[in-house]
Amino acid sequence: MARRPAVIDNAQVAAVFRSYHSGVAAKLLALRRLILDVASSTEGVGPVEETLRWGQPSYLTAQSGSGSTIRIDQVRSEAHEKVPKGALGRCIALALIYHRSRGRRHRSRERRV
């Protein structure tokens, strides 16, 4: 699957990223890139829809129905530890195929507005 461009097509999602402090935005955009990269390299995931859920940037496997929604946002924390990219990528992949791995039928879902 081709790598998705860095451009955020959804205007509402783009506005949320612009609203973050630059340091937070950079970290969340790196996380977004990791989600999209893992999705594109994980078999059976298909296209990922980028939208807002509960006001947070969210990533859905709407077409394949293979995974759970991944929501990202700023969290208040005193811990400034770096999260290992490999471990985080594995967690993302598991979320993206959660329904498939649980033996549920994937079906194409209609886009909800």
- Residue by residue, pLDDT tens for the chain (113 residues) are 445 557 899 999 999 999 999 989 999 999 999 999 999 999 989 899 999 999 999 999 988 888 899 999 988 765 567 778 888 898 888 988 887 765 554 444 444 43
pTM of the model: 0.77
Cα-Cα-Cα-Cα dihedral sign, residues 47, 48, 50, 51 = positive
pLDDT, residue 62, reads 86
pLDDT, residue 66, reads 85
* Rounded distance between C-alpha atoms, residue 36 and residue 34, angstroms: 5
pLDDT, residue 56, reads 96
pLDDT, residue 102, reads 58
Residue 87 has φ and ψ, to the nearest 5°, of: -65, -40
Q: Output the DSSP codes for the chain.
A: -PPPPS----HHHHHHHHHS-HHHHHHHHHHHHHHHHHHHHSTT----EEEEETTEEEEE-TTT--S--EE------S--PPPPHHHHHHHHHHHHTHHHHTTPPP-PPPPP-
